[in-house]
A and B are shown apart, each in its own frame.
Chain A
Amino acid sequence: DAMVIQNPRYQVTQFGKPVTLSCSQTLNHNVMYWYQQKSSQAPKLLFHYYDKDFNNEADTPDNFQSRRPNTSFCFLDIRSPGLGDAAMYLCATSRGDYGYTFGSGTRLTVV
């Protein structure tokens, strides 16, 4: 089945130690999104790729970066995780219209 896959499901990292979360898709969607969702809150868009074009939200901290080496993969890099970055990170894809497909998320813990 076509889907959006996020790895790992759970990630524990040390305070200040760079960490990378990955997302892959078999839907061949041209847009990939990263959302941050803190406990009991709404998901917040960090950035998205429209094809190869990177689009950062104005309030996304510089600590967060992203890479999209090809259509299928997208990575979220957190350069120096702080305790406040502990959250669920959701990857989603779309064809640029309203048809979003979400992955299962990666829960990041910072110790």
Chain B
Amino acid sequence: AQTVTQSQPEMSVQEAETVTLSCTYDTSENNYYLFWYKQPPSRQMILVIRQEAYKQQNATENRFSVNFQKAAKSFSLKISDSQLGDTAMYFCAFIVRYTGTASKLTFGTGTRLQVTL
């Protein structure tokens, strides 16, 4: 079974500062993907960034980047130049890629991020 652990239930960061959210996971599979999802108070789950496990290069999307340490099974999210609109619950999630069946997302428990003035 796959598990995802987010050890920071809540975090706070000042606008324009940088914050890092932690995530660790456990799996015996080799073909998998990792994600960070954002869920603002409006509640729609939005994909922030995706990392393929076979890629060594860390994924980046504008102000969002990850630090993927495969051996350590660690997948942290760095948000640079934080904005008020980044206030949300952030979920780390994991999918094992299977052939012929649907892939199922496993979520961590989430980190609530508050961006302050």
Contact residues of A with B, CB < 8 Å? 31, 33, 40-43, 45, 48, 50, 55, 88, 90, 92, 94, 96-98, 100, 102-105, 107
The listed residue (B33, B44, B91) touching A105 by CB distance below 8 A is: B44
Taking Cβ atoms with an 8 Å cutoff, the residues of B that contact A are 33, 35, 42-47, 50, 91, 95, 97, 101-105, 107-110, 112
B35, B44, B50, B102: the one within 8 Å of A48 (CB): B102
Q: Is the CB of B110 within 8 A of A42?
A: yes
Task: Verify A100–B109 contact, CB threshold 8 A.
Answer: no
CB distance B97 to A88 under 8 Å?
A: no
Which B residues are CB-close (under 8 A) to A104?
Answer: 42-44
Q: Which of A42, A50, A55, A96 contacts B91 (CB 8 A)?
A: A42
Residues of A within 8 A of B43 (CB): 88, 104-105, 107
Are A98 and B44 touching (Cβ within 8 A)? no
- Are B110 and A102 touching (Cβ within 8 A)? no
B42 contacts A96, C-beta separation under 8 Å: no
Q: Is the CB of B102 within 8 A of A31?
A: yes
Given A88-B43, A98-B97, does the pair A45, B110 have CB atoms closer than 8 Å? no
Complex-state Cα separation, A43 to B43, whole angstroms: 12
Chain B residue nearest to A9 in the complex (CB): B43
- 4 A-B pairs closest in CB distance: A42-B107, A102-B45, A31-B102, A98-B33
Q: Are the C-beta atoms of B44 and A97 separated by less than 8 Å?
A: no
Kindly identify which residue among B45, B46, B50, B108 contacts A90, using a CB–CB cutoff of 8 Å.
B45
